[in-house]
Amino acid sequence: MLNNQKGPIAEVDIPVDQLAIKVNLFMFDLKNEATELGFKAGETWALELVSDIEAKHLKKQHQPVVSLSLQSSALLSAFREVKNKLQQTLTPQDMLLTTNDLNRDEKKYLVAYPVRNTSR
């Protein structure tokens, strides 16, 4: 994507190419963790935008947790881009999120943790 093109990661506080690199590294980490965990059909990543406290809580509950910290507008763009790359549909709540929401709720991280298929 060129810098002057509009897209899901174009209007953010960091340069578009830097955000793309961070998103690609995050996706690389997810792929590596999925390989190490032996993901099977039906297993995927849960994605959440979280605060410091929520991130600590998730890290205690889930293994592994992959996280990315960015400024709020970049974080929101990264969240939407990662969901797209994972072929996960944005919920109506996801689509309504704004940087003001993230700032108000002190959301600083995009975190991913595995959702294992429990049916056998």
Q: Which of 81, 62, 61 is nearest to 19 (CA)?
A: 81
Report how far apart, in Å, the C-alpha atoms of 57 and of each of 61, 72, 95, 103, 105 are. 6, 21, 25, 20, 16
What does the pLDDT read at residue 1? 29
What does the pLDDT read at residue 11? 42
Residue 4 lies in a domain: no
Low-confidence residues of the chain: pLDDT under 70: 1-13, 117-120
What does the pLDDT read at residue 65? 95
CB atoms within 10 A of CB 36: 9
Task: Round to whole Å and give the CA distance between 118 and 60.
Answer: 20
What does the pLDDT read at residue 58? 95
**pTM for the model:** 0.83
Residue 11 lies in a domain: no
Q: How many CA atoms lie within 13 A of 49 on its CB side?
A: 28
Residue 60 lies in a domain: yes
Total number of domains constituting the chain: 1
What's the domain range around 40?
A: 16-115
